[in-house]
């Protein structure tokens, strides 16, 4: 047997002790601590975001339909005017005289018609008794028919004259807020001059116009959503919410009531319109807004935190903690993002514990210790 020297034995003992210490240290190393959260099942609303522009439900130009000098303005600029309120008065003297002349001509023609009728009534029995010729009867009939035609023409002239006389008083065609006047008193207005007097805007209800792409249309078809049509079988409708210029969310919601049936080849988009109440006139026609359109409601969808999902070239995956506290790498199919959460189409069951913090230090099959007890997490 070979003899081991004292100088060789000491280093060997030191190495053994060091290895034993390392093994003990490795065995005593604590489990990695991770934060876990259970996947949930809930109804998820899916929105599309667009840039919209508001316009008035009705926008009417008030114009002068006859020529004349503007005499009166009977409203306050920017005020609310009801339908039928008199706004402007145009000089009516010449139109009044024209109407009176047409009325006088009508009376004259009616008198001629009555005379021609009496002459015809006298000639006809004489003709039957051979006391008047055929020519006399024909002349009487022609005179009567001519007189009747003159009366009809005079009635039309009188109606036209009275219509033009009525046009000298310009009334509001709708109820709404009126703009400032476009002409001053004493100005010649009408067909041969300035005809636009003011504009009236009905904005207690506004229309929101925005554009969607052909891809949006296809996605809507996939969700069985017909824009611009109400579906009584569905428990929800594609309503619209908007954000104002101060980044506040408008308290009222609107509904899509129209979608253009074709795509603009120049832009690749089609126009969509939503109708929205505006009782306080918080939305001014012409202003731009941020539009959110409800496109779908996913019922009982499985949802996990967005930060728990890791996306690589091979796909998306999460770390799932099993009941024995061992984590496994689970590849999933993800859906739309909703705030800080994401919908999982396949791969996760509701209630499974997902590692949402500390997964960078994990590997499949590693046992972990959750930051909070399971019971507390479930609560």
* Domains in the chain, number: 4
Classify residue 10: in a domain, yes or no.
Answer: no
What pLDDT digit, counting tens, does each position of 165-209 carry? 999 999 999 999 999 999 999 999 988 778 899 999 998 899 999
What pLDDT digit, counting tens, does each position of 23-82 carry? 554 455 678 888 888 988 888 888 888 999 999 988 899 999 999 999 999 999 989 999
H helix or E strand, kind and range, residue 344: strand 341-346
Question: In this model, does residue 144 exceed pLDDT 80?
Answer: yes
Contact 70, 185 (CB under 8 A): yes
158 shares its domain with 102: yes
CATH number of the domain bearing residue 217: 2.40.30.170
Classify residue 15: in a domain, yes or no.
Answer: no
Instruction: Give the SS3 label for residue 179.
Output: coil
pLDDT band with cut points at 50, 70 and 90 for residue 1 = very low
Percent above pLDDT 90 for the chain: 41
pLDDT band with cut points at 50, 70 and 90 for residue 374 = very low
Contact 340, 304 (CB under 8 A): no
Q: How many CB atoms lie within 10 A of CB 64?
A: 23
Cα separation, 276 vs 3, whole angstroms: 101
Classify residue 347: in a domain, yes or no.
Answer: yes
285 shares its domain with 219: yes
């Amino acid at each position: 047997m070979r003899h081991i020297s004292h100088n060789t034995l000491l280093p060997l003992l030191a190495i053994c002790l060091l290895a034993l210490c390392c093994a003990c240290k490795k065995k005593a190393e604590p489990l990695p601590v991770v934060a876990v959260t259970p996947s949930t099942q809930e109804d998820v609303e899916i929105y599309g975001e667009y840039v919209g522009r508001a316009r008035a439900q009705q926008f009417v130009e008030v114009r002068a339909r006859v020529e004349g000098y503007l005499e009166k303005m009977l409203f306050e600029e920017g005020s609310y005017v009801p339908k039928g309120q008199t706004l402007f008065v145009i000089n009516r003297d010449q139109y009044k005289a024209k109407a009176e002349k047409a009325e006088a001509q009508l009376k004259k023609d009616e008198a001629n018609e009555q005379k021609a009728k009496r002459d015809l009534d006298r000639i006809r029995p004489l003709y039957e008794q051979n006391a008047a010729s055929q020519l006399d009867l024909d002349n009487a009939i022609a005179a009567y028919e001519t007189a009747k035609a003159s009366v009809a023409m005079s009635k039309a002239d009188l109606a036209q004259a009275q219509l033009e006389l009525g046009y000298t008083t310009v009334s509001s065609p709708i109820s709404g807020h009126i703009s400032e006047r476009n002409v001053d008193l004493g100005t010649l207005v009408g067909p041969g001059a300035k005809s636009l007097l003011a504009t009236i805007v009905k904005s207690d209800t506004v229309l929101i116009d925005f554009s969607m792409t052909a891809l949006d249309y296809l996605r809507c078809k996939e969700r069985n959503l017909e824009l611009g049509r109400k579906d009584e079988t569905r428990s929800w409708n594609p309503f619209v919410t908007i954000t104002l210029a101060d980044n506040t969310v408008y308290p009222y919601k609107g509904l899509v009531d129209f979608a253009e049936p074709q795509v603009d080849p120049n832009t690749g988009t089609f126009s969509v319109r939503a109708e929205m109440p505006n009782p306080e006139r918080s939305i001014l026609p012409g202003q731009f807004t941020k539009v959110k359109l409800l496109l779908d409601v996913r019922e009982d969808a499985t949802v996990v935190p967005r930060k728990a999902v890791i996306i690589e070239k091979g796909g998306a995956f999460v770390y799932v903690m099993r009941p024995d506290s061992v984590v496994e790498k689970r590849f999933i199919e993800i859906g739309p993002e909703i705030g800080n959460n994401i919908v999982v189409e396949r791969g996760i069951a509701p209630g499974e514990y997902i590692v949402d913090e500390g997964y960078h230090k994990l590997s499949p099959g590693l046992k972990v210790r959750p930051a909070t007890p399971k019971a507390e997490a479930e609560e």
